[in-house]
């Protein structure tokens, strides 16, 4: 899952929160 990996990495940079970012990304999809 390269795309999700990229999105997760981007989310970490944006939100700087390991738990919060993937949740927000999953909600957006």
Q: Can you give the pLDDT of all 29 residues of the chain as single tens digits?
A: 577 788 777 777 766 655 665 676 677 66
pLDDT of residue 18: 55
pLDDT at 28: 64
**28 exposure class (CB count in 10 Å sphere: 0-12, 13-18, 19+):** exposed
Nearest-angstrom CA–CA distance, 3 and 1: 6
What pLDDT shows up at residue 9?
79
pTM listed for this prediction: 0.36
Q: What span, in angstroms and rounded, lies between the C-alpha atoms of 3 and 9?
A: 10
Q: Domain residues of the chain, as ranges?
A: 1-29
């Amino acid at each position: 899952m390269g795309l999700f990996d990229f999105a997760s990495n981007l989310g970490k940079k944006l939100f700087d929160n390991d738990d919060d970012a993937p949740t927000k990304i999953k909600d957006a999809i």
